[in-house]
Structure 1
Amino acid sequence: MSRHSPLFAALLLSAGMIAAGSVVVAAKLTALALPPFTAAALRYALAAAILLPWAWRRHGIPRLDRHDAVILLCQAALGSLGFSVLLLLGLRHGDAASASVAAGTLPLLVLAGSCLGQRRLPTPRLALASALAGLGVVAASHGGPVDPLIFAAIACEAAFVSLDRLMRQPPPPLTLSALLCLGGLLLTLPAALAEAWTPQSWPLSAWLALSWHGLVGTVLGFLCWYGGTARLGAGRAAPFTALFPITGIAAAPLVLDSPFALTTGLGGGLVVAGILLAAWPSKSTAVAPAAESV
């Protein structure tokens, strides 16, 4: 198979979104054992240790003007203090599969936010897609509670993604992800050091989940997703975001040994239908797996 073939690009996009979708389950395991700021700081440190040297070798030291530097700082705050910490706190008592369904609505939230930002009404297709996703989240909540903090985390991630278009001269994606990981580490480190004063023993499962979150969910997810979009195009990559909630729903019973709820599966199906309806064959920009979700 050629590395430049559409099939290879589709495999990369699928792997990238599956890696991103597995983050919710990994975060659930982490949240049950590690303090939230400590978990976030360690994950960012792990990802930054790989991404920073790589970005420096490939693109050199980035030069950002004051405007773009402020946008980057806001994104780091939304991604670290907003998405990561709130997600960990919400997953302490929330259901991972239902949270995956809720997080799967992110592409639709970004598209809807874009319509509001441009002061235009959403298209009938986007309105129907959003309604399907909303029904999906309601259905999934009957399979397991979706903590309000998870919805707050998703809102932060939607704002994180929406800020991309405000940058005047954005750095390459690799450099951007490396800087966001560094910013997330610096923002979470003070609180993580405060948490470290409390002696705790952390199980091996938490460390494995943390490593998976940093290496697979962030680094590998970034590599595969941007590699696929570079070959296939952002518009054609958008439908692959449907794999995010599917991964979480499938992985939760296997990894967490939690019962599968039919309502969660139904909710995930409605969210996936909404994503596909809105994104295919839309030419709109696809949502990255948050090299955060850095």
Structure 2
Amino acid sequence: MLAFSGSFPATVFAMEGFDPYLVAIGRAVLAGAAALVFLAVAGAPLLPPRGRLGSYLVIVAGVVFGFPVFSGLALDSGASASHAAVVVGLLPAATAACAVLRAGERPRALFWASCGLGAVCVTAFTLSRGGGHVTGADLLLVAALLSAAAGYTEGGRLARETPGWRVISHALVVAMPLTVPATAVLALTTEVRPGAASLAGFAYAGLISMFLGFIPWYAGLAVGGIARAGQTQLAQPLLTLTWAWLLLGERFGAVTVVGALAVLACVAMTQRARS
């Protein structure tokens, strides 16, 4: 959770020198290179079992492509890191809902009521910030959180049988036939203005957000249960707001703070109801 809380500020810094698509896809190449090193040193197979390929493709679609691309485009479209933190703060509830649907469980009505209330809070927040309209950036953030929820759920399921570091490593390797050529084309066809801040942001997004952060995350989801372990993300929006203020100098008013706390309260209810 600590690793992921810095993802939005890091992406903002990275996009100061690189195209949003290059940041979103290129960081997967950086993470994939680290994954190959980890797999080689451990003497593990470079590819996952064929029978699990479908699950790995879900992870690839969700957290290797979906979340980075959608969230990066949202930030490039004008959404601030603090605004994105509030909208994506609903992610633990979305992950719990995916876990419920994937496992065929039947939670209490309070669970679904809390999820719905959280969605209402996010909608009210986006409308208040968008002059009564849901912006394109908000829709991109919703797509990002749904993508991440699917990727988290599938990765958590696989991590029950496979170490978390191998799950994310294999997902990144499976994606490399797409990420490597796409990154090469983007690097040649988009404007690149690398600087210290953009390179640091890119490195963080690739090595921490895309790879190292997932190692304890998937392990925690496997041990504690996908929905229950997601409670650790309750503090993530508030931490991201702190990083946005400290690192980016973003200023946000009471509406943003109240929105973050309201989403946090709704997500906390989903976790209690789910349990």
- TM (norm. structure 1) is 0.76
**1:266 has 2:258 as partner:** yes
Contact 2:156 2:221 in 1 (8 A): no
Residue 240 of structure 1 aligns with an amino acid whose one-letter code is: T
The whole-number CA distance in structure 2 between the counterparts of 1:173 and 1:118 is 19
Contact 2:156 2:219 in 1 (8 A): no
The whole-number CA distance in structure 2 between the counterparts of 1:119 and 1:267 is 31
Identity value in percent? 24
Map 1:95-174 → 2, pairs under 5 A: 95-116=80-101, 122-141=107-126, 142-143=128-129, 146-164=137-155, 170-174=161-165
Q: CA deviation at 1:164?
A: 4.2
The whole-number CA distance in structure 2 between the counterparts of 1:236 and 1:164 is 15
**1:242 has 2:239 as partner:** no
Q: 1:74-122, CA deviations, whole angstroms, 9 ceiling, x for partnerless residues?
A: 3213323322112111110212112112212122113223445567765
Map 1:80-91 → 2, pairs under 5 A: 80-91=64-75
What SS does structure 2 have at the residue aligned with 1:61? Answer: coil
Residue 184 of structure 2 aligns with an amino acid whose one-letter code is: L
What SS does structure 2 have at the residue aligned with 1:110? Answer: helix
The whole-number CA distance in structure 1 between the counterparts of 2:241 and 2:125 is 10
The whole-number CA distance in structure 1 between the counterparts of 2:165 and 2:224 is 17
CA gap 1:59/1:103 in 2 versus in 1, 3 angstroms: farther
Partner residue of 1:207? 199
CA gap 1:168/1:108 in 2 versus in 1, 3 angstroms: closer
Partner residue of 1:190? 181
What SS does structure 1 have at the residue aligned with 2:249? Answer: coil
The whole-number CA distance in structure 1 between the counterparts of 2:36 and 2:46 is 11
Partner residue of 1:288? none
CA gap 1:47/1:275 in 2 versus in 1, 3 angstroms: same
**1:36 has 2:27 as partner:** no
What SS does structure 1 have at the residue aligned with 2:188? Answer: coil
Contact 2:3 2:208 in 1 (8 A): yes
The whole-number CA distance in structure 1 between the counterparts of 2:79 and 2:114 is 25
Q: CA deviation at 1:31?
A: 3.2
CA gap 1:120/1:133 in 2 versus in 1, 3 angstroms: same
Partner residue of 1:78? 62
Contact 1:139 1:264 in 2 (8 A): no
Q: CA deviation at 1:67?
A: 3.2
Partner residue of 1:69? 53
- TM (norm. structure 2) is 0.81
Contact 1:108 1:275 in 2 (8 A): yes
**1:181 has 2:172 as partner:** yes
Residue 273 of structure 1 aligns with an amino acid whose one-letter code is: A
The whole-number CA distance in structure 2 between the counterparts of 1:35 and 1:121 is 44
**Over the residues paired in the alignment, what is the CA RMSD in angstroms?**
3.1
Q: CA deviation at 1:255?
A: 1.6
CA gap 1:205/1:112 in 2 versus in 1, 3 angstroms: same
Structure 2: where are the runs of 5+ without partners?
A: none
Q: Number of residues paired by the alignment? A: 266
User: Which stretch has the larger CA shift, 182-191 or 139-148?
Assistant: 139-148
Contact 2:10 2:204 in 1 (8 A): yes
Contact 1:136 1:268 in 2 (8 A): no
The whole-number CA distance in structure 2 between the counterparts of 1:61 and 1:22 is 31
Residue 207 of structure 2 aligns with an amino acid whose one-letter code is: L
Residue 125 of structure 2 aligns with an amino acid whose one-letter code is: A
Contact 1:115 1:122 in 2 (8 A): yes
Q: CA deviation at 1:269?
A: 0.5
CA gap 1:281/1:108 in 2 versus in 1, 3 angstroms: closer
Q: CA deviation at 1:43?
A: 1.8
Structure 1: where are the runs of 5+ without partners?
A: 1-16, 284-294
Q: Which structure has the highest helix share of the two?
A: 2
